[in-house]
Amino acid sequence: MVVKTPVVISAALAGAVTVKRQNPAVPYTPEEFGEEAKKCYEAGASIVHIHARDPEKGNPTADLEQIKAVIDVIKEKAPEILINLSTAISTVATEKQRIAVIKEFKPELGSLNTNSMNFSVGDHKTGKVTMGNTNVFVNNFRMIEKFAKEFKKAKTKPEMEIYDLGGMYNMLFLNKQQGLFEQPLHFQLVFGVLGGIPFSYENIAHLRNLMPPDATWSVCGVAKDQFRAGMCAAPMGGHIRVGLEDNIRTITGELAKGSWEQVEWAAKVAKLAGRKVATPDETRKILNLPQQ
């Protein structure tokens, strides 16, 4: 059966790890974020996912003034696009800094991370960890519950970041608490992080089958998993996240000229699956966001 719901395309513009040395199109300054958001919107994205950067050094930043500068330029350049703010921010951000972005800016969406885990980069041919071999991404139950309550106060939709099966079961367990989350839930299935679950057809099907039947869901993946996950999600009724946060290349292996180039690919995949590309207004309805 062909799924008729339009595909919501999200563009994750920078992340906490990718830098201009890897791909010069990674945005650092508010102006660069704004221009990239505009191009992504024109290519079909209805959401941009933001990790703000120090405009000079390029480091991920928890500075609220710098984050506000990025949001302001995005809203000026692409006023219709929805903002999804990261509560991961960086490996050194404190718990207080991580949730401050939701409390301060009250975005339409925000990332709610769902389990503690090793979070690293490695060479899959040699089995060597090449970055972050001591990194532990802390998201204990107390933090998740605290963050969820702040999301609800801000009227921000939690995008539940599912890095492995443990994260999914954590959220299904916490969802038993009356009123902790607005229903239906929205999940982002993340594939390919070293320390998390890799992409496979079996893994995406298993995670999908665990969700409540009325939940909405999207996929993203590191490097080639970005394309494999997106190709599967479109005909299965899911949505697609792309962007330089997750992958610096195009489907042909060349350096992407920007996240917008991957958005163009995702729009083609949606159409091949017999689905439209969602507008921002359609995205609000699909993800059960407050209407403007």
Write out the two tokens for 222: 């590191």
pLDDT in tens, the chain (292 residues): 567 899 999 999 999 999 999 999 999 999 999 999 999 999 999 999 999 999 999 999 999 999 999 999 999 999 999 999 999 998 899 999 999 999 999 999 999 999 999 999 899 899 999 988 999 999 999 999 999 999 999 999 999 999 999 999 999 999 999 999 999 999 999 999 999 999 999 999 999 999 999 999 999 999 999 999 999 999 999 999 999 999 999 999 999 999 999 999 999 999 999 999 999 999 999 999 976 5
Cα distances (Å, whole numbers) of residue 115 to 103, 111, 112, 157, 212: 21, 12, 10, 18, 19
Domains, the chain, in order of start with CATH, read 9-286 (3.20.20.70)
Give φ, ψ of 191 to 5 degrees.
-115, 140
Characterize 169-191 residue by residue with b for buried, 16 or more Cβ atoms within 10 angstroms of its Cβ, and e for exposed: ebbeebbeeeebbbeebbbbbbb
Q: How many CA atoms lie within 13 A of 177 on its CB side?
A: 14
Kindly report whether the global pTM for this prediction surpasses the value 0.85.
yes
Q: Are 240 and 269 in contact (CB under 8 A)?
A: yes
Distances (CA, A) of 209 to 29, 258, 273: 40, 33, 20
Contact 271, 278 (CB under 8 A): no
